[in-house]
Amino acid sequence: MRNLLMTISYDGTAYFGFQTQPGGNTVQDRLEDAIRQLTGEEVKIHGSGRTDAGVHARRQTFHFVTSSQIPVERWRHALNGRLPSDIRITDVVEVPLEFHSRRSAKRKTYRYSINGNRVFDVFNYPYQLHHPGALNIEAMHEGLAHLIGTHDYTSFASRHSTKQSHVRTIYEAWIEVEKGTGAGSHEQGIIHIYLTGNGFLQHMVRIIVGTLLQVGEGKRRPDDMKTILEAKDRSKAGPTAESKGLMLWEVEYADLSIS
Amino acid sequence: MRNLLMTISYDGTAYFGFQTQPGGNTVQDRLEDAIRQLTGEEVKIHGSGRTDAGVHARRQTFHFVTSSQIPVERWRHALNGRLPSDIRITDVVEVPLEFHSRRSAKRKTYRYSINGNRVFDVFNYPYQLHHPGALNIEAMHEGLAHLIGTHDYTSFASRHSTKQSHVRTIYEAWIEVEKGTGAGSHEQGIIHIYLTGNGFLQHMVRIIVGTLLQVGEGKRRPDDMKTILEAKDRSKAGPTAESKGLMLWEVEYADLSIS
- In our burial notation (b when 16+ CB lie closer than 10 A, e otherwise), range B100-112 reads ebbebbebbbbbb
- Closest B-chain CA to A81: B119
* Long-range Cβ pairs for the range B84-87 (8 Å, 24+): B84/B30, B85/A120, B85/A122, B85/A125, B86/A122, B86/A125, B86/B10, B86/B11, B86/B13, B86/B14, B87/A122, B87/B8, B87/B9, B87/B10, B87/B11, B87/B27, B87/B30, B87/B31
By C-alpha distance, which of A3, A54, A12, A49 is closest to A30? A12
The ipTM, to two decimals, is 0.91
B113 and B162 in one domain? yes
Confidence of residue B259 (pLDDT cuts 50, 70, 90): very low
Q: Are residues B113 and B169 in the same domain?
A: yes
Q: Is residue B258 assigned to a domain?
A: no
* pLDDT tens profile B86-98: 999 999 999 999 9
- Shared domain for B118 and B87, answered yes or no, is no
Enclosing domain of residue B25: 2-103
Q: What residues of chain B lie within 8 A of the CB of A55, using their CB? A: none
Query: Residue B30 above 90 pLDDT?
Result: yes
* CATH number (domain holding residue B168): 3.30.70.660
CB contact under 8 A, B86 and A7: no
Q: Are residues A10 and A28 located together in one domain of the fold?
A: yes
Q: Are B68 and B42 in contact (CB under 8 A)?
A: no
Q: How far is it, in rounded angstroms, from Cα B145 to Cα B124? A: 28
Q: Is A77 contained in some domain?
A: yes
Last residue of a domain, one of A103, A138, A172: A103
Query: Which residue among A11, A88, A125 places its CB closest to the CB of B119?
Result: A88
Closest residue, chain B, to A83 (C-alpha)? B122
Selected residue with higher pLDDT from A258 and B197 = B197
Half-sphere exposure of A158 (CA within 13 A, CB side): 13
CA B26, CA B15: separation in Å to the nearest integer? Answer: 5
Flag whether pLDDT at A237 surpasses 60.
yes
Nearest to A122 among B9, B123, B184 (CB): B9
Q: What is the overall mean pLDDT for chain A?
A: 94
Asked if the structure places residue B155 within a domain, the reply is yes
pLDDT tens digit sequence for A194-204: 999 999 999 99
Sign of CA dihedral A79, A80, A84, A89: positive
Residue that finishes a domain, picked among B103, B138, B168: B103
Q: Which of A88, A119, A184 sits opposite B122 (nearest CB)?
A: A88
Give the pLDDT mean for A110-136.
96
CA–CA dist B208, B235 (Å, integer):
13
Q: Is the Cβ pair A91, B10 closer than 8 Å?
A: no
Answer whether residue B41 shows pLDDT above 60.
Answer: yes
**Mean pLDDT for the stretch of residues A91-95:** 96
CB atoms within 10 A of CB B139: 17
* Residue B1: closest CA among B81, B97, B86: B97
CB A87 within 8 A of CB B122: yes
- Residue A247: closest CA among chain B residues belongs to which residue? B123
Catalytic: which of A33, A52, A91, A255?
A52
Q: CA-nearest residue of chain B to A132?
A: B77
Mean pLDDT value across residues B209-238: 98
A113 and A33 share one domain: no
Residue of B209, B213, B25, B245 lying closest to B126 (CA atoms): B245
Angle at alpha carbon of residue A75, lines to A71 and A81, rounded to 5°: 145
Residue B248 reports pLDDT greater than 50: yes
Q: Residue B58: pLDDT above 60?
A: yes
B52 classed as catalytic: yes
Q: B183 vs A10: CB contact, 8 Å cut-off?
A: no
What is residue A181's predicted lDDT score, i.e. its pLDDT? 57
List residues of chain B with CB under 8 Å from any CB of chain A. 7, 9-11, 56, 76, 80, 85-91, 119-123, 125, 127, 183-184
pLDDT at A103: 93
Note whether B253 and B104 are within 8 A (CB).
yes
Residues 6+ apart with CB under 8 A from B82: B33, B34, B37, B38
Chain A residue numbers touching B127 (CB-CB < 8 A): 123
A99 and A138 fall within a common domain: no
Q: Are A169 and A149 in contact (CB under 8 A)?
A: yes
Q: Which residues of B touch A85 (CB under 8 A)?
A: 120, 122, 125
Check whether residue A41 and residue A57 sit in a common domain: yes
Assigned domain for A258 exists: no
For chain B, give the mean pLDDT. Answer: 94
The reply to whether B71 falls in a domain is: yes
How does DSSP assign A97-138, residue by residue? TT--TTTTEEEEEEEEEEE-SSS--GGGGGG-EE--S---HH
B119 and B86 in a single domain? The answer is no
Residues 6+ apart with CB under 8 A from B1: B65, B66, B67, B97
Question: CB distance A85–B125 less than 8 Å?
Answer: yes
pLDDT digits (tens, 9 = 90+) for B189-217: 999 999 999 999 999 999 999 999 999 99
Alpha carbon distance B252, B61 (integer Å): 9
- Which residues of A fall within a CB distance of 8 Å from B125? 11, 85-86
Q: Rounded CA gap, B63 and B7, in Å?
A: 9
B127/B90 same-domain check: no
> Do A20 and A31 touch, CB atoms closer than 8 A?
no
> How far is B64 from B36, CA to CA, in rounded Å?
12
Residues of chain B with Cβ-Cβ distance to A115 below 8 Å are none
Cβ neighbours of B11 in A, within 8 Å: 122-123, 125
pLDDT (0 to 100) of residue A180 = 73
Residues A116 and A29 in one domain: no
CA-to-CA dists, residue B198 to B104, B164, B175, angstroms: 11, 16, 19
Q: Say if residue A184's pLDDT is above 90.
A: no
Q: Let me know whether A24 and A139 are in one domain.
A: no
Q: Reply yes or no on whether the pLDDT at B22 is more than 90.
A: no
Q: Percent of chain B at pLDDT above 90?
A: 90
The percentage of chain B sitting over the pLDDT mark of 70, rounded to a whole number, equals 96
Counting the structural domains of chain A, the total is 2
Paired with B130 in beta bridges are B115
Q: Which residue out of A13, A119, A190, A257 would a mutagenesis test of the B interface target, given it has the greatest number of B Cβ atoms within 10 Å?
A: A119
CA A249/CA A234 separation, integer angstroms: 25
Could you give the 3-state DSSP secondary structure of residue A209?
A: helix
Q: Average pLDDT of B47-71?
A: 95
pLDDT greater than 80 at residue A183 = no
CB contact under 8 A, B125 and A86: yes
Statement to judge: residues B97 and B136 lie in one domain: no
Query: Is A110 part of any known ligand binding site?
Result: yes
Residues in B closer than 8 angstroms to A125, CB to CB, are 11, 85-86
User: Quick check: is B24 in a domain?
Assistant: yes
Q: Domain ends where: A103, A137, A169?
A: A103
| Whole-angstrom distance, CA of residue B106 vs CA of residue B128 | 27
Mean pLDDT for the stretch of residues B41-61: 94
Within a domain: residue B259?
no
Q: Mean pLDDT lowest for which of A11-20, A50-59, B179-188?
A: B179-188
Residue A65 forms beta bridges with which residues?
A3
CA dihedral sign, ordered B164, B166, B170, B176: positive
Domain membership flag for residue A90: yes
Residue B188's Cα: distance from chain center in Å?
Answer: 24
A&B contacts, CB < 8 Å:
58
Subunit contact B183:A120, Cβ cutoff 8 A? no
Least confident stretch, B48-62, B74-88, B181-195? B181-195
| Residue A224 Cα, gap to closest chain B Cα (Å) | 34
Helices (H) and strands (E) in chain B, counts: 5, 10
Q: Which sign, positive or negative, has the C-alpha torsion A65, A70, A74, A76?
A: negative
Range with the poorest average pLDDT among A13-17, A79-83, A181-185, B129-133: A181-185
Least CB–CB distance from B122: residue in A9, A119, A123 = A9
pLDDT value of position B257: 53
Closest Cβ opposite residue B183 in set A10, A91, A119: A91
